[in-house]
Structure 1
Amino acid sequence: MKPFFRLLSAVLFLLPFGLMAQSPVGNWKMSVPDGNGNMVPLKVTISDQGTYAVDFGADGTIETKGKYTLDGAKMTIQDSEGSDCTGQGVYTIKVEGDTLTMTRVSDACENRSGPEGIMVMQKA
C-alpha cells in the first residue's frame, strides 16, 4: 500500500506542472494572408486574466481585444472590441514547447481561424 501512496503523492505533486505546460498565457506570433495573398505578421497576447489582444501587422497597435475561458484543453474565445464578429469560437489547444496550436471545434466567426480551422503560433 505504501508504494501506491508514494505514486499518488508524486502524481498530485507533478500535476500542476503538467497543467502549467498547457497554459496559452504569453505572447505569440504568426502570419496570416491578407486579401492579396501577402503574409501579414500578427502578435497575440494572452493574459492570465482571461483576456487577449491581437496586433495585426505587429506594429504595436492593438486592433482586436477579447475574452477567453479555459476548460481543460478547450478554449472558448470571443472578440469584444475591434471585430465585426463577436460570436464565440471554441478551440482545442495544445502547447508544445514554444508552439501553441488552436484547432477549431466550432466558431460563429467563419474567417477567424482560416479555411482549415487551425492556428499555429510561436512564442514571441
Structure 2
Amino acid sequence: MFQETPQDALVGTWTNSLGTVWAIKADGTFQVSLSKNHRVDVWGKYTVTGDEMTIQESHGSHTPKSCRGKAIYKFMRDGEMLTFTKVSDKCKLREKNILAGWKPWKG
C-alpha cells in the first residue's frame, strides 16, 4: 500500500567516522553538526532523483563560499550503512564528510 521512495533511504540522523552528525529530513531539508557540541553548523535543502542526491543550497557559520553551491552525489543504502559517490561538488570540506561512510546516529 505504501511505497518507499528513494528519499526514504536517506531520511534519518547519521554520523560518520569524522564525528559529523547529519540530519536528513523528509521535508527536503538537512542540518549538519561538525563538532561534538551538536550545534547546527550547516543547513540547507536537497532533492532526490533516483539514486542521486542534489544538495541545492547550504548555509551556516562554517560554510565556505565554494560550499554554498549545488553538489550531486550518488547514494547507496546497504542495511544500516549509507555511502555516497561524488558526481560533482566544488566543496572539499563537504566532499570529505560525505564520502566518509555513514551509520545511524545513536545520540
Q: TM-score, normalised by structure 1?
A: 0.70
- Whether contact under 8 Å (1:102, 1:118) holds in the other structure is yes
- How far off its partner does 1:112 sit? 1.5
**SS of aligned partner of 1:111:** helix
The one-letter amino acid of 1:55's match is S
Residue correspondences, number: 100
The share of aligned pairs that are identical, in percent, is: 31
RMSD: 2.2
Q: State which of 1, 10, 20 in structure 2 corresponds to 1:42.
A: 20
Write the distance in 2 (CA, Å) between the matches of 1:31 and 1:98: 14
| Bigger Rg, structure 1 or 2 | 1
Ranges in structure 2 where 5+ consecutive residues have no aligned partner: none
Paired residue for 1:123? 104
**SS of aligned partner of 1:104:** strand
Ranges in structure 1 where 5+ consecutive residues have no aligned partner: 1-12, 33-40
- How far off its partner does 1:97 sit? 1.1
- Whether contact under 8 Å (1:21, 1:95) holds in the other structure is no
The one-letter amino acid of 2:103's match is Q
Give 1:76-115 correspondences, 5 Å limit: 76-82=54-60, 83-84=63-64, 85-114=67-96
- Whether contact under 8 Å (2:6, 2:48) holds in the other structure is no
Question: Deviation digits for residues 3-45 of structure 1, max 9, x if unmatched?
Answer: xxxxxxxxxx69x24x46962000000132xxxxxxxx11100
**Which stretches of structure 1, 4 residues or more, deviate above 2 A after TM superposition?**
19-22
